Amino acid sequence: MPTPMPTPMQNPLRTPMRIICVAGARPNYMKIKPVLDGLEAHGAETFLVHTGQHYDPAMNDVFFRDLGLRPPDRFLGVGSGSHATQTGRVMAAFEPLVGELAPDLVVVVGDVNSTLACALVTAKAGPLLAHVEAGLRSRDWTMPEEVNRLATDRVSDYLLAPSEDAADNLRTEGYHADQIHVVGNVMIDTLFANLERAKASGTLAGLGLVPGSYGLVTLHRPANVDDPEILAGLLKGLGEVAAHCPLVLPVHPRAAEKIDAIGAPGGIRLVPPAGYLDFIALQAGARIVLTDSGGVQEETTALGVPCVTLRDNTERPITVEQGTNVLAGRDPDRILATALRLLDDPPPPRRPALWDGRAGERIARVLLEGGTAAGRPRPTDVR
């Protein structure tokens, strides 16, 4: 059953609990803010650690500013590199920090390399470990994120699931019932906290856009942008959609040169990377969104905006079953057919349970009140 909204704390801790909260990449910032807010509201001593996995000011500093997220207490500055190099650098930088701060608990979010690296260090160093967004599964082992998710869950003490389907995955994999907590979606906390401010920001007017008159596109996953043939097919399909609904594409840094080399079809307007508030405004005003982002699948579901996912699978199937998302894959003809269907007959707005803007509060209460999961041996036979 979903974790209910708690009543005020009955037994506040005598001394503040010391908690490290880790962020490493842009999707982490929106996820860690509600957790920090919830923990601090109940008196926990928090340390925000930024690993530096993403460090481009155009895509990093603006998110901190838009979210009202305080500057990190420590910046590890690991930078880019191969998966092994980046993961190793994060581990080497994070390990002495854990020794120095001696936290009671470490919180990691999402599925990036920093998530796994800090989880492994924590599991070996001894503090309790909590994973926000536990239980998400694409079942696609070609995705590095899937490896990160599975391995992070494996070594975690607290598995904080965003929805009941994610909790079902964990139960099926053999985790203890008292490790698993359905807490809702922290991304939606941040979305709802900033939605009205985003709508009032003037983003659409600044770009000459009228709500409901355009579609929004995001492309950033390596599987979609690193192979020129695949990217060309996606752009072809998007160009055909643009003949029916003009598209706006904020260009992700890792995709910019590759898209420029192929050339964007007519009807697709390329714009600079968008900050958080600008991007939420673009989503909220869009007639349709076409994306390869997991977070965008969730945000469009919360906003009630039709979403076409340019992937063959999703670790967020609840956005298909109970939201506005449809998987289209990467075939140009299927992308066009799916988009035209949603443009002609948009799905009714639906929002999963506990996606109500209060996940951070639930997480704080689970972690600060402890419970039998604290210190429990981790599963030994999870397949």
Cα–Cα distance for residue pair 165/302, rounded to 1 Å: 17
Query: Is 176 among the residues known to form the active site?
Result: no
Q: What are phi and psi of 279, to 5 degrees?
A: -70, -40
Interatomic CA distance for residues 380 and 343, integer angstroms:
48
Tokens 């930088």 — which residue?
93
Spatial separation of the C-alpha atoms in residues 212 and 288, rounded to whole Å:
8
Instruction: Kindly state the greatest CA–CA separation across the chain.
Output: 63
CB 281 within 8 A of CB 201: yes
CB-side exposure of 355: number of CA atoms within 13 Å? 22
Start-end of H helices in the chain: 26-41, 61-67, 83-101, 113-125, 144-155, 164-172, 186-199, 203-206, 222-225, 228-242, 253-262, 276-285, 294-303, 318-321, 332-344, 359-369
Q: Which of 54, 131, 220, 244 is catalytic?
A: 220
Q: Point out the residues that are catalytic.
A: 220
